[in-house]
Structure formats: structure tokens, C-alpha cells
Amino acid sequence: MEKIKANNLEFDVRVAGLSNTGDAVILLHGFPQTSHMYQEIMGLLSDNNYKIIAPDQRGYSKDARPKSKNEYKIEYLVEDIFLLADEFSFKEFHLVGHDWGAVVGWGAVNFNPEKIISWSALSVPHIDALNQAREIDKNQQKKSRYLKFFNLPFFPELYFSINNHKNLKTLWNKHSQSQKEEYMKVFSQKGALKAALNWYRANLNRDDIEKLGKIFKTTQFIWGNKDIALGRKGAELTKDYMKGEYSFIELDVGHWLIQEDYDAVSSLILNFINKNSKK
């Protein structure tokens, strides 16, 4: 783990293969995970000559944990990624993101597409498609009910921290014991859980965010049809917003794609990056 300064913060960043000669790859985790979720995939990509970084994002890194919820607005989360890329001298890179990492990734592809070679979104569809589904699809509305709770002050932290973080650990029902222990190294830190939840509080119900719009970047979207939070409607609507080369892969798994079907997901990511590699 390296400590890298960017955006007046200091991030904990997992790295692999930095001496390799292939393209750069950036991996973005979601909630409630850390960059550790990609550890095995990082080894796979490094063995295939890629340079990889996977940061513990804003709020998850101990020294990148602002107190104000406004510091977790999506535009700052996106900016972090490009500034971290600059610190590693990545002029362009392949991007992979899961859950909130996918939300950041969608924003990044829209904000600065010329720096991104290919984009792999895991679980979360195009944001406009998801918002559309939340408006018209009863199944997605039901799956999104938890967002109101996450947006509350104080109570989510209490819920996830009582009884030695019992309810938080329940979310990791598809994870190994070693993964849970690695995640708890972060979530047991002071302010970490609040910071992670502030991603929701800072970005839900904002009326000052423009729609994402059409995406022209080469993209693959991997979705599990048993996902407890993200339904079929948003997944299928995503194609309406994709104007570049696009592939949609449906797997018979839930939200934790990598933990539930590592072989399939890791192969999809590697093959997609290989296909679009510039070196």
C-alpha cells in the first residue's frame, strides 16, 4: 500500500505491476468495501503486463477523510481519480468500477473521456438509466428504498456499528473471512463509516447535477440478475445512452460480482482490457 497525495488529501493506494510496459488500469471500489476487493484481479492484470492502481477512495483512506459531507460530492470523487492518475504519470488508462466506484466511473467517463481507454462498469448501470428506472419501475423503486435510510443523519452509523458492526458484516455474506477482516481495518477507524455514508448524503436528491447524457467511450457493463439493489430496468435502459462500442453481460449472481463469480468477472475484465489495449 502506497500513500499518495492528491487534491490536498493523502490516499492509501494498492499498486501492482508499475514496472510493466502495458497500459495503466485504475480499479474503483464501492460501499462498503475497499480496494482490497480487487487484490486477486490486480495480480491477474499484473501478470498480463498491465500497470494497476486501486485507491481506497475519499473517506476510506484515513488521511483522505474530510468531515463535511459536502466534500463527498461526486465531482470531487471524480477529480480525485484523475489527480491520482497524474501522480502515477498515467496519461490514459482503462477504468473499472463497482457499486459507488461505478458511479464515479460513469462520471469520469463523461468528464474526461479522452483519458480513458476503456470502461468496465460493474453492477451499476448508466446513472440516467438508473434514475429513469427509479421513476418508472416499481421493482427498482422497491430496491432503492434503503437510500432514504442511508440519507438520514446518525442512524445509519448506529445501525452498522452496533454489536461489533454485526449489520455491516452481514452485507459481506459472500465475502471470505480474510476479506471481512481487511474491510474492518478501515471501517473500525474513527469517522470511516460516516465518511462512507456521506457519499450517499452528498449526492442523493441533488438538483444541481446535470444529466450524464450520451456516452461515446468503449464500455462493458456487467450486471448480476440477483442484485438486491439494482434491477433489470436500469440495466436494460443503459443501452439507450451508449453511443460507442457497448456490451452488456448478464450473470446469474447478485451484487457482489467478483466474490460470487470471480472466474467469469475477472476473465471479462481481462479480455476486455486486452481487446482494447493500446500496447
For 49-107, write each residue's pLDDT tens digit.
999 999 999 999 999 999 999 999 999 999 999 999 999 999 999 999 999 999 999 99
**Among candidate residues 82, 84, 128, 120, the one with its CA nearest the CA of residue 102:** 120
Total of domains in the chain? 1
Whether the bond into 156 is cis, omega within 30 of 0: no
Average pLDDT over residues 239-266: 98
Q: What pLDDT score was predicted for residue 65? A: 98
Q: What pLDDT score was predicted for residue 209? A: 81
118-152 residue pLDDT tens: 999 999 999 999 999 999 999 999 999 999 999 99
Q: What pLDDT score was predicted for residue 278? A: 85
Residue with cell 496519461: 91
In three-state secondary structure terms, 127 is helix
Contact 162, 155 (CB under 8 A): no
Tell me whether residue 136 is exposed, middle or buried, using C-beta atoms within 10 angstroms of its C-beta: 0 to 12, 13 to 18, 19 or more.
exposed
**Among candidate residues 231, 177, 185, 226, the one with its CA nearest the CA of residue 60:** 185
Average pLDDT over residues 15-36: 98
| Domain containing residue 16: CATH number | 3.40.50.1820
- Residue 205 in this model has a pLDDT that exceeds 90: no
Q: What pLDDT score was predicted for residue 170? A: 95
Average pLDDT over residues 257-269: 98
Expressed as residue numbers, the domain containing 52 is 2-206+213-276
Q: CA–CA distance from 95 to each of 25, 51, 122, 219, 233 (Å)?
A: 6, 12, 11, 10, 24
Q: What pLDDT score was predicted for residue 208? A: 79
